[in-house]
Homo-oligomer: A and B are copies of this chain.
Amino acid sequence: MASRNDTNAKAAPATKRLPRTTLSGQIAEQIRAAILDGTYALGAQLNEMELASTFGVSRGPVREALQRLIQEGLLRSEPHRGVFVPELAPTDLIDIYFVRRSLELVAMRRILETPERAEVVRDLAGIVRQMKAAVRRKDWPQVADLDMQFHRRIVDEAGSERLTRSFATLQAETRLCLQMLMGGYRENAALIDEHQLLVDLIERGALEPALAELERHFGDPVRTLQKANASRKEKLGAEAA
């Protein structure tokens, strides 16, 4: 990872392409990707100096990037100790999905209130199509990514800047949580059908059925986790301090 820079060659061409970019922002993006990729394990400490040398920069930008991720909920800071990848419990996933469901339901309601839905429906259908292909290739990371895109597209369509912002952090936490608790993305056979059904309901303007289906769609991951949790609850009892 982080092969973009050499030891101290800071004049990378990528930096020039978009002048309105900050080094901190790039670092934040890279670290975020690394966290979500599972590069840093649960509870691991992120050494500032180490990260700095890894990215070929000083500790300043790294520090700012870390703080940004802390505010996003992807890292936890203990003053004078360090920043750690949070150890998310099953209750955290449930909490995350509780808020996510709320936000998406609101977005869905707003979408079905507007008469112009052709564009969203087209985009969502395209995502589902790609998803179908990815499932056929058994490219699960891609499926997970498309799942993210699908739900984000719905929330974005609501046209609320704050809703989008809140949802973005929730979605990042979701990904982290799934990574931590289930070791990646689950192979859910019903996933395609559920998304396709949602698209159809949106197209037809069926408000209540769409909301109900969305709720059902969210109830499933929680139940899946609870099943997965049952097989490793012995490990969780050790850290009830």
Q: Which residues of A contact B (CB under 8 A)?
A: 20-22, 60, 63-64, 67-68, 71-73, 79-80, 92, 95-96, 98-99, 102-103, 106, 160-163, 165-166, 169-170, 173
Interchain nearest-CB distance for A114 vs B (Å): 14
Q: Which of A68, A71, A72, A92 gathers the greatest number of chain B CB atoms within 10 Å?
A: A71
Bound-state CA distance A176–B44 (Å) is 37
The answer on a CB contact under 8 Å between B67 and A99 is: no
**How many copies of this chain sit in the oligomeric assembly?**
2
Interchain nearest-CB distance for A165 vs B (Å): 7
Q: List 16 A-B contacts (CB under 8 A).
A: A21-B79, A60-B60, A64-B64, A67-B67, A73-B165, A96-B162, A98-B160, A98-B163, A99-B106, A99-B160, A99-B166, A102-B103, A102-B163, A162-B170, A162-B173, A166-B169
Interchain nearest-CB distance for A85 vs B (Å): 17
Would A95 and B64 be within 8 Å (CB), given that A22-B79, A166-B166 are in contact? no
Bound-state CA distance A162–B92 (Å) is 9
**Chain B residues near A67 (CB-CB < 8 A):** 64, 67-68
Q: Which of A92, A103, A162 gathers the greatest number of chain B CB atoms within 10 Å?
A: A162
By beta carbon, the residue of chain B nearest A78 is B20
Bound-state CA distance A69–B67 (Å) is 11
The answer on a CB contact under 8 Å between A71 and B68 is: yes
By beta carbon, the residue of chain B nearest A163 is B99
**Chain B residues near A79 (CB-CB < 8 A):** 20-22
By beta carbon, the residue of chain B nearest A109 is B102
Bound-state CA distance A99–B20 (Å) is 30
The answer on a CB contact under 8 Å between A95 and B161 is: yes
Bound-state CA distance A13–B165 (Å) is 38
By beta carbon, the residue of chain B nearest A162 is B99
**Chain B residues near A106 (CB-CB < 8 A):** 99, 102
Bound-state CA distance A103–B106 (Å) is 9
**Chain B residues near A92 (CB-CB < 8 A):** 161
Bound-state CA distance A92–B73 (Å) is 24
